[in-house]
Amino acid sequence: MPAMNMIQALNSAMDVMMTRDPNVLVFGEDVGYFGGVFRATEGLQKKHGLTRCFDAPIAEGGIVAAAIGMGAYGLRPVIEIQFADYIYPGYDQIVSEAARLRYRSAGDFTAPLTLRTPYGGGIFGGQTHSQSPEALFTHVAGIKTVVPSNPYDAKGLLIAAIEDDDPVIIFEPKRLYNGPFDGWHENPVSPWAKHPDSEVPEGHYTVPLGKAKVVREGNDLTVLAYGTMVHVAQAAAVHAGVDAEVIDLRTLIPIDIETVVASVKKTGRCVIVHEATRTSGFGAELSALVQEECFYHLEAPIARVTGWDTPYPHAFEWEYFPGPQRVADAMKRVMEG
Amino acid sequence: MPAMNMIQALNSAMDVMMTRDPNVLVFGEDVGYFGGVFRATEGLQKKHGLTRCFDAPIAEGGIVAAAIGMGAYGLRPVIEIQFADYIYPGYDQIVSEAARLRYRSAGDFTAPLTLRTPYGGGIFGGQTHSQSPEALFTHVAGIKTVVPSNPYDAKGLLIAAIEDDDPVIIFEPKRLYNGPFDGWHENPVSPWAKHPDSEVPEGHYTVPLGKAKVVREGNDLTVLAYGTMVHVAQAAAVHAGVDAEVIDLRTLIPIDIETVVASVKKTGRCVIVHEATRTSGFGAELSALVQEECFYHLEAPIARVTGWDTPYPHAFEWEYFPGPQRVADAMKRVMEG
Amino acid sequence: MNAPLKNTVPLSLRVPEPRARPGDPIDFSGLVVAPAGAAPRPDINASAYAVRDLAFTLVRVLDEANVAVGPWNPKLSPAQMKRGLRTMVVTRAYDERMYRMQRQGKTSFYMKCTGEEAVASAQALALAEDDMCFPTYRQQALLIARGYPLVDMMNQIYSNAADPCKGRQLPVMYTSKAHGFFSISGNLGTQFSQAVGWAMASAYKGDSRIACAYIGEGSTAEGDFHSALTFASVYDAPVILNVVNNQWAISSFQGIAGGEESTFASRGIGYGIPALRVDGNDFLAVYAVTQWAADRARANLGPTLIEHFTYRAAPHSTSDDPGRYRPVNEADAWPLGDPVERLRDHLIASGEWSDDDHKALEKEAADLVRAAGKEAEAIGTLGQSRPSVKEMFEDVYKETPWHIRRQRQELGV
Amino acid sequence: MNAPLKNTVPLSLRVPEPRARPGDPIDFSGLVVAPAGAAPRPDINASAYAVRDLAFTLVRVLDEANVAVGPWNPKLSPAQMKRGLRTMVVTRAYDERMYRMQRQGKTSFYMKCTGEEAVASAQALALAEDDMCFPTYRQQALLIARGYPLVDMMNQIYSNAADPCKGRQLPVMYTSKAHGFFSISGNLGTQFSQAVGWAMASAYKGDSRIACAYIGEGSTAEGDFHSALTFASVYDAPVILNVVNNQWAISSFQGIAGGEESTFASRGIGYGIPALRVDGNDFLAVYAVTQWAADRARANLGPTLIEHFTYRAAPHSTSDDPGRYRPVNEADAWPLGDPVERLRDHLIASGEWSDDDHKALEKEAADLVRAAGKEAEAIGTLGQSRPSVKEMFEDVYKETPWHIRRQRQELGV
Ligand SMILES: Cc1ncc(C[n+]2csc(CCOP(=O)(O)OP(=O)(O)O)c2C)c(N)n1
Ligand SMILES: Cc1ncc(C[n+]2csc(CCOP(=O)(O)OP(=O)(O)O)c2C)c(N)n1
Ligand SMILES: [Mg+2]
Ligand SMILES: [Mg+2]
């Protein structure tokens, strides 16, 4: 099995699906000849032809709308929004249209599109190349929201998303494109090749939507994480010396409540981590859910470790980012609580 | 003091501010000659002139953008988005621009605009005239989010918003425009005139942003509510026979944490109510906050009573709406918990 | 030294206003109407640049004497014209009944297309049955022309147990894939760019079906309008882009959308999209330009923009009172007349129709609508009958996830 | 019977591609360039309709022999031209240094405007000092022309302790209200419609200042472009709407924004906005059309759309490698030449300038930039020096609310 980094895994998912299904096509800003600013679509146009992987005008609303129309026709479009920070011009089409087409037409029309978008910090991109807007989508009924944390999952989840009959948004943590970044930013990032989850089958397989994965078993507390924070949480557990169980949610909506509840009931403590700003972030929903489902098992307040309630600041990336030190501190606090 | 309904109170706030400050102007779809589809701007054009209250093209993104430009110039624009359901085409300008202009320019430019928008159910308007999208804004640092529940507050909060130097969004519960609807929808709604909060001074006054109000004192449990749900919660408390303390949050961001925490610490129980869909709604943030601040005081799980995670369905308005029966049931559950 | 000038006058803000408000005399003197037959009919493969003047004139076929004249005369057979007339008359009868039903409290909301019936009626005739339309709420005539059952339209409006939208949608937000009628959205403009995506898909698949999209002149201000034109232009999508300029967007006259500064058709020029302005109350002219546009699309010549110049004779919706913002009888004074009367009179002038025929048609339409009405009302009107409450929780996703299932249980349904 | 046609050929999807990709011979043969002096110069109060052909031609002043010809010759004084030349030369020197600094790891990111310097440099000269510009990231020459300190620009780029944006913004996202330079956004297009709002405010107040907005040709596809044109048209806003068509949007050629189907200037026609297309590498032509547009705005005649036809000679940014998507030396082959060389040669041809003068100017610019560079680097480059971490939590709101204050405490700063 070849070792792939996350970009290669995503590229392979699209390649596999374009090969299997003539209704799958890919478009977005700079994804055609050039292969995308993060190179996720490299080679797809050359291999599958100009009309199957092509550049789009700089109009995120138009890109989503075109994908909805294509979906209504019967295609399975895969679109790239160049940075999650630029998804907002397409917000109306996603929220008012893609998410509600099946419901409002009672299944007469559907929008089985897949939207990929790089998200989170990692390139010193300041406030408009670093955002984590997932909570702005988890509030919207009718869309599924996915965040992979490694190459194997990225490919399997992306294929599952393309095959899914509902609109799916995949937030791709750009910090993880090249390696399992664990938040110790002074250290060099080790390449994916050294990580077991970089072993990615070349062909077709899926990782089911809606299923979380326990990536580290433990008894003292539960960490709910996704994307980059899965790796940070593991590093923090080591750093704090806490026997933490780390859950990689993988899909945010629908959330795998069973895995979450089983773990928190076991450990009695919970730390929620994400890079997005805190207030009304997806961590709030997780906290509410855990509290509702596990109240009588909780031995300490649920803690949230998150980005601050500010835009993403260029010069303060490492003070903004909820790194392993902050997560470890929270773990210790929760253990004492 | 004249009795005003909510529309009159909002109208009076704009009138007062247009009279006091030549930099205040009002625009939006159908707000000019016609006076707005809910009549909130009636008479303002006639009194203050064509260029101070005028119709805008059907382009919510353009309306917000124009207001940002005007704010950067030094005006204090008040814009109306005809229904909150139609705010999404303006989402990018609100989230990426208005909310972040002060931060990114280090205060060199600011966007002191006020955005008014009718929200929530109440007119059998189906999925595109009934939404409650407040949580899509509470996640965004840089904007203030306000929801009045009565004429007095509506006017005082709107004046405070116009005078505020940051962008403020006011969600106006259309169910409350004409009377303090308490959710018992089979009963006729009593007019505002019979309610003490319809006594509205004619001139200038403010209700400060960021300050909640205890509208019903109680010892058994705390209800966190805003907008229509303030009245529903009170009706539910009566119906359930529970000595509930009902807090009208009034401002969601910044939230008045002191009032919330003091109450929950006193009662030890908490029910959160809103009409918006549940998952990742503002109730999630409230639940997370209460849990973080009051964990050791909580005697039962915090409950959320909300709209369902579906679009707003035309024929099932009353099954969708979290009415007093559902709120009362939750109160009882929490009392037993 | 050629220094930058400063102003000789202070700047001032211009806010456009219509010529007449309630109480003012009706004034259509600003309206320049080209004579019927005057506009040239270029080849379908003429360039957008070459045909750009068509965006500033008005394609008209029926002259003052109700005779069809000029190069755009589509030379429809009497049978075709009668079919079109019938669609319009049934549509008007349907609108009248449903409007009345709303007034009687049998539903929450209704929207008429009175005065604009020719647009969708003629287009339905000019399109193939399986071309996909992306309508606004004023193209009910498409469904009627394509034989969608009136009773199902009414069931939707009543949100009753037989409502094809299962009680979820505001009245008039129909959907029927089988009739090439895309689910109507409450959000203005969104369908316009979706239609282009559908057309791109059809082209991608080497299909033969084209798309036909609608937008009101007021809604052209939305970004989706611009997206639609951009994508249609770049990918040469087989789509007809219709702007229905009925002069009003609720209370805002077309000047608030920019209609005083240029025509809406002329928006096409900047995208290299051939654009035509047509008398929207002239059934034959609408048919002719649609056929031209459809032929272009089918021949891989790409999109066409059509501005239908018409007038919204009805209130915006049952929630609206136009007496608050425009002179009461403005509709009657509309210089381009009524589309039903004009086609009727043309048929009569051609010796193909009579007043009696027309009365019979009107009676047939009323009977048809009444019969459908009885049938739908027998199922139930709003609140009397409705789909199972369970339906509230279905179709959010293809498979209902646990949290929504659990909410359904919470409600106990 | 005139039944709807079905297709004679199957539909097919067209995806535009540029004439040349890496390895292909450079091909500008599709580019039609009007001769200098040919375009007429209408009165500023001519109607948009009357001047619509100006959207399809190219206003050019400098001819092949570097002589200024035709009605658009702005007849600038030698002093003015030298001032403009200086702005361009300093801008180029500045760009070169900052690009190098990024390569040396002294900052995270940089963007050059090489080849496009005439646009902002000539406009700065044609505008009043207090007119408000809403720039993209390629109008750094505006700041330079208006005397904003180079060292402050660099401080922003280094996010150092003296950064006017307090370390919060990506490099090149300058702001200076005092210099009529609106805070640059990373979100493309948003400033274009904001500029119209600013202009409306200026008109509302009876002020004399006008707004000047910029957008790249690729970004014209965003809805904000359409909003800007709609609002400018409806309210007759005193604004100059500039589309900088530098042929590329990262790796996408201008055809992906619709540039193969019509000119970007011609977008103005559908809104009734007078629109001009100008040789963006011809300093005198840019000055002349800007002056015309500014005069229109100041005289309450409303907005003007200008398409600056130029070429992005530099990579998109320091993150980009154009060798992956276009022929390597395409920039050198650009038929409209280099803006600095053209103005230099015109001055030399007029006897007002010499090679030595130019070398002296280049040296002066390099010295200036180097001195500023030393000063900024003495404060510190990225990571070496920065504003207080407290600044991360300031200015989210005017007064910092409790939750952000508490987060600051949580971080311990
Ligand atoms: C995005 C959005 N904004 C606002 C509205 C409210 N609204 C409904 S209809 C309407 C007027 C539409 O006018 P026009 O496009 O001219 O269509 P017409 O009603 O004349 O057919 C408005 C503003 C909406 N439905 N969607
Ligand atoms: C809304 C948005 N979408 C996408 C991007 C990513 N992006 C940055 S620059 C760019 C290309 C812009 O091209 P153009 O408008 O022609 O300007 P130029 O760079 O040529 O000056 C893109 C796609 C962005 N910054 N904002
Ligand atoms: Mg209209
Ligand atoms: Mg460009």
Binding site membership of B80 for ligand 1 (Cβ less than 6 Å): no
Q: Given phi > 0 = left and psi -120 to 50 = alpha, else beta, which region is D35?
A: beta
Instruction: From chain C, pick out residues whose CB is under 8 angstroms from the CB of A209.
Output: none
pLDDT digits (tens, 9 = 90+) for B247-271: 999 999 999 999 999 999 999 999 9
Q: Which of D169, D187, D252 sits opposite A29 (nearest CB)?
A: D252
pLDDT digits (tens, 9 = 90+) for D229-266: 999 999 999 999 999 999 999 999 999 999 999 999 99
Give the residue on A whose Cα is nearest the Cα of D392.
Answer: A313
Q: Which of B25, B66, B142 sits opposite D231 (nearest CB)?
A: B66
Residue D68 pairs with which residues in a beta bridge? D62
Question: Going by C-beta distance under 8 Å and a sequence separation of 6 or more, which residues neighbour residue B210?
Answer: B144, B251, B254, B255, B256, D401
Question: Going by C-beta distance under 8 Å and a sequence separation of 6 or more, which residues neighbour residue D268?
Answer: C270, D48, D55, D229, D241, D274, D275, D304, D305
CATH fold, domain C52-317+336-382, is Rossmann fold (3.40.50)
Asked if B127 and A141 come within 8 Å (Cβ–Cβ), the reply is no
Instruction: From chain B, pick out residues whose CB is under 8 angstroms from the CB of A298.
Output: 295
What CA–CA distance (Å, rounded) separates C136 from C212? 11
The pLDDT value recorded for residue C146 is 98
DSSP string for residues in C162-201: T-TTTT-S-TT---BGGGTBPPPPSSTTHHHHHHHHHHHH
Mutation target to probe the A interface, by most A beta carbons within 10 A, among C148, C225, C227 is C227
Question: Going by C-beta distance under 8 Å and a sequence separation of 6 or more, which residues neighbour residue D53?
Answer: none
Binding site membership of D250 for ligand 2 (Cβ less than 6 Å): yes
Question: Going by C-beta distance under 8 Å and a sequence separation of 6 or more, which residues neighbour residue C53?
Answer: none
Instruction: From chain A, pick out residues whose CB is under 8 angstroms from the CB of B85.
Output: 96
Stated as kind and residue range, the H or E segment containing B144 is strand B144-146
pLDDT, average across residues B137-158? 98
Q: Given phi > 0 = left and psi -120 to 50 = alpha, else beta, which region is C317?
A: beta
The pLDDT value recorded for residue A2 is 83
Q: Which of B127, B280, B295 sits opposite A135 (nearest CB)?
A: B280
If you take atom 21 of ligand 1, which residue's CA is the nearest one?
C216
Inter-chain CB pairs, C–D, below 8 Å = 196
What CA–CA distance (Å, rounded) separates D195 from D211? 6
User: Is the pLDDT score of C6 beyond 80?
Assistant: no
The pLDDT value recorded for residue C9 is 87
The string over B282-294, giving b where at least 16 C-beta atoms fall within 10 Å of a residue's C-beta and e elsewhere, is bbbbbbbbbbebb
Q: Does residue A288 contact residue B270 with C-beta atoms inside 8 Å?
A: no
The pLDDT value recorded for residue D28 is 95
Asked if A292 and B304 come within 8 Å (Cβ–Cβ), the reply is yes
User: Is the pLDDT score of C52 beyond 60?
Assistant: yes
Instruction: From chain D, pick out residues whose CB is under 8 angstroms from the CB of C232.
Output: none
Angle subtended at Cα A132 by Cα A131 and Cα A136, rounded to the nearest 5 degrees: 115
pLDDT, average across residues B67-82? 98
SS (H, E, C) D43-66: CCCCCCCCCHHHHCCCECCECCCC
- Distances in Å between the Cα of C92 and the Cα atoms of C86, C116, C149 are 10, 10, 15
Pick the catalytic residue: A48, A129, A239, A274?
Answer: A129
Residue D187 alpha carbon, nearest atom of ligand 2: 26
Angle subtended at Cα B25 by Cα B21 and Cα B26, rounded to the nearest 5 degrees: 140
What CA–CA distance (Å, rounded) separates C171 from C175? 11
Q: Given phi > 0 = left and psi -120 to 50 = alpha, else beta, which region is B30?
A: left
SS (H, E, C) A44-91: HHHHHCCCCEEECCCCHHHHHHHHHHHHHHCCEEEEECCCHHHCHHHH
Three-state SS at B216: strand
Q: What is the mean pLDDT of chain B?
A: 98
What CA–CA distance (Å, rounded) separates D100 from D112? 11
Residue D138 alpha carbon, nearest atom of ligand 2: 21
Q: How far is the CA of D242 from the centre of ligand 2 (A)?
A: 15
Question: Going by C-beta distance under 8 Å and a sequence separation of 6 or more, which residues neighbour residue D45?
Answer: D296, D299, D301
Q: Which of A74, A93, A105 sits opposite C175 (nearest CB)?
A: A105
Asked if B295 and A300 come within 8 Å (Cβ–Cβ), the reply is yes
Tokens 């409806």 -> residue: D234
At residue A302, φ and ψ (nearest 5 deg) are: -70, 135
The pLDDT value recorded for residue C4 is 64
Asked if B128 and C319 come within 8 Å (Cβ–Cβ), the reply is no
Q: What subunits touch chain B, counting only 3 or more CB pairs under 8 A?
A: A, C, D
Mutation target to probe the B interface, by most B beta carbons within 10 A, among A60, A101, A105, A139 is A139
What CA–CA distance (Å, rounded) separates B63 from D228? 10
Please report the residues numbered 259 through 318 in chain A whose beta carbons come closer than 8 angstroms to any beta carbon of chain C: none
pLDDT digits (tens, 9 = 90+) for A191-245: 999 999 999 999 999 999 999 999 999 999 999 999 999 999 999 999 999 999 9
Residue A185 a catalytic site member: no
Closest C-alpha among B141, B95, B168, B255 to residue A308: B141
Three-state SS at C134: strand
- CA torsion, ordered C100, C101, C104, C105, to nearest 10 deg: -140
Cα-atom radius of gyration of chain C, to the nearest Å?
22
Residue B73 structure tokens: 């110039």
At residue B173, φ and ψ (nearest 5 deg) are: -70, 110
The pLDDT value recorded for residue D2 is 47
Q: Given phi > 0 = left and psi -120 to 50 = alpha, else beta, which region is D391?
A: alpha
Closest C-alpha among A238, A205, A333, A324 to residue A273: A324
Q: Which of D173, D183, D224 sits opposite B65 (nearest CB)?
A: D224
Closest C-alpha among D49, D52, D33 to residue D285: D33
What CA–CA distance (Å, rounded) separates D154 from D162? 9
Q: How far is the CA of C20 from the centre of ligand 4 (A)?
A: 45
What CA–CA distance (Å, rounded) separates A121 from A129? 7
The pLDDT value recorded for residue C8 is 73
Q: What is the mean pLDDT of chain A?
A: 98
Binding site membership of C246 for ligand 1 (Cβ less than 6 Å): yes
Instruction: From chain B, pick out residues whose CB is under 8 angstroms from the CB of C21.
Output: 33
The pLDDT value recorded for residue D7 is 73
The pLDDT value recorded for residue C1 is 38
pLDDT digits (tens, 9 = 90+) for C159-216: 999 999 999 999 999 999 999 999 999 999 999 999 999 999 999 999 999 999 999 9
Question: Going by C-beta distance under 8 Å and a sequence separation of 6 or more, which residues neighbour residue D206?
Answer: C10, C11, C12
pLDDT digits (tens, 9 = 90+) for D104-126: 999 999 999 999 999 999 999 99
Give A137 to chain B, closest Cα distance, Å. Answer: 9
Q: How far is the CA of D19 from the centre of ligand 4 (A)?
A: 17
What CA–CA distance (Å, rounded) separates C27 from C16? 15
pLDDT, average across residues C64-89? 98
At C3, is the pLDDT very low, low, confident or very high (cuts 50, 70, 90)?
low
pLDDT, average across residues B85-90? 98
SS (H, E, C) chain D: CCCCCCCCCCCCCCCCCCCCCCCCCCCCCCCCCCCCCCCCCCCCCCCCCCCHHHHCCCECCECCCCCECCCCCCCCCHHHHHHHHHHHHHHHHHHHHHHHHHHCCCCCCCCCCCCCHHHHHHHHHHCCCCCEEECCCCCHHHHHHCCCCHHHHHHHHHCCCCCCCCCCCCCCCCCEHHHCECCCCCCCCHHHHHHHHHHHHHHHCCCCCCEEEEEECHHHHCHHHHHHHHHHHHHCCCEEEEEEECCEECCEEHHHHCCCCCCCHHHHHHHCCCEEEEECCCHHHHHHHHHHHHHHHHCCCCCEEEEEECCCCCCCCCCCCHHHCCCCCCHHHCCCCCHHHHHHHHHHHCCCCCHHHHHHHHHHHHHHHHHHHHHHHHHCCECCECCCHHHHHCCCCCCCCHHHHHHHHHHCC
Q: What is the mean pLDDT of chain C?
A: 97
Instruction: From chain D, pick out residues whose CB is under 8 angstroms from the CB of C223.
Output: 222-224, 226-227
User: Is the pLDDT score of C2 beyond 70?
Assistant: no
Q: Does residue A122 contact residue A173 with C-beta atoms inside 8 Å?
A: yes
Asked if C168 and B315 come within 8 Å (Cβ–Cβ), the reply is yes
Closest C-alpha among A38, A76, A36, A84 to residue A56: A36
What CA–CA distance (Å, rounded) separates C129 from C148? 12
Q: Does residue C178 contact residue C147 with C-beta atoms inside 8 Å?
A: no
pLDDT digits (tens, 9 = 90+) for A245-290: 999 999 999 999 999 999 999 999 999 999 999 999 999 999 999 9
Closest C-alpha among B294, B284, B282, B265 to residue A298: B294
What CA–CA distance (Å, rounded) separates A60 from A88? 8
Instruction: Centre a 10 Å sphere on the Cβ of residue A297 and count the other Cβ atoms it contains.
Output: 15
Helix axes C355-379, C78-103, angle to 10 degrees: 40
More confident residue, A232 or C1: A232
Three-state SS at A208: coil
Collect residues with CB below 5 Å from ion ligand 4: D 216-218, 246, 249
Site to probe by mutation for ligand 1, drawn from C250, C253, C311, C319 as the one with most ligand atoms within 8 Å of Cβ, is C250
In this complex, is the C-beta atom of C291 within 8 Å of any C-beta atom belonging to chain D?
yes
In order of start, what are the domains of chain A with their CATH numbers?
Answer: 6-198 (3.40.50.970), 213-336 (3.40.50.920)
What CA–CA distance (Å, rounded) separates B142 from D363? 45
Q: What is the mean pLDDT of chain D?
A: 97
